[in-house]
Amino acid sequence: MASLKEVRNRITSVNSTQQITKAMKMVSAAKLRRAQDAILQMRPYAKKLSEMLATVSAGTETAAESPYKQVRPVEKVLIVIVTSDRGLCGAFNTNVVKAGMALIQEKYAAQAAKGNVEIFALGKKGGEACQRRGFKVNASFMDVYSRLSFGVVKEAAESIMADFEAGKYDAVEVIFNEFKNVATQIIRTDQLLPIPDAKDELKKATTSNVNYIFEPSEEQIVTDLIPKTLKIQLYRAVLESNASEHGARMTAMDKATDNAQELIKALRLEYNRSRQAAITKEILEIVGGAEALSKG
């Protein structure tokens, strides 16, 4: 059985840890509200933009001729992994990295064997994990959350689009956590490039029967919409991941706080038992000593 001093030190240590987890939970709760508002405002815009592009591009050859819709034999692949910069958020980052590795093994095993799979890291944890696994990682925007804005994500999207257009990659996929609620995040894998066929979007679109008046021209609008849609799609993935991160950290810190409380209870019980045993031992020694003196 541990000494009273050791148990007291452990109780003090766990109490300090509990205060930290409580504080982290409160910070994540405050950040979650802002991040949740941002993604809830972005979703309708991103959805409507995709529907509009699908509807408009269905009637023009300009979309089919776009360099971002060109389907080529897949030799070189870019996987965009969206994670967080910090840990202490449960399996949030691990699940995304695992999904990325599973995607590579199931869909791009041949390309990976030739060393033709590259990781584009948005978030330090994903980039570091993929580097440890031996993948070539583009870390240019790994610190995206330290300066999170549409401008920064736009630069990342433009870099990816330029590389695809130049033929550096034949396929680009994005893996991220989609925010559902505080306790639930859903792993999503979306094909960013080449742009998927608009038929599926048209089936879901509520604006498919709308007749548009185009100004300056239908072709020009489609040409402008395609790059903008790609940038918004990537920005939405980052915002989804940002909200999911705070939700996951809030849940993880809440559980950590509860576990700390349970540990404190167990340690206090152990402390009381040790103290009781020490007192009993001292009483027995006193009684034994008194008996010895009386007999002497």
Q: Catalytic residue positions? A: 89
Q: Calculate the CA dihedral of residues 45, 51, 54, 60 and round it to 10 degrees.
A: -80
Three-state secondary-structure class, residue 220: helix
Contact partners, residue 188, CB within 8 Å, separation at least 6 = 174, 175, 176, 177, 178, 237, 240
- Angstrom distance (rounded) from CA 125 to CA 94: 9
In the block, tokens 């971002």 appear at 68
- Angstrom distance (rounded) from CA 205 to CA 209: 9
Q: How far apart are the first and last CA of the chain?
A: 35
Cβ burial 29-47 (10 Å sphere, 16+ → b, else e):
bebbeebbeebeebeeebe
Contacts of 105-108 spanning 24+ positions with Cβ under 8 A: 108/74, 108/77, 108/79, 108/171
**In which element (H, E) is residue 75 found?**
none
- The arrangement of strands across the sheet holding 171-181 comes to 136-138, 117-122, 77-82, 171-181, 184-193
- Angstrom distance (rounded) from CA 3 to CA 8: 9
In degrees and rounded to multiples of 5, residue 271 shows phi and psi of -60, -45
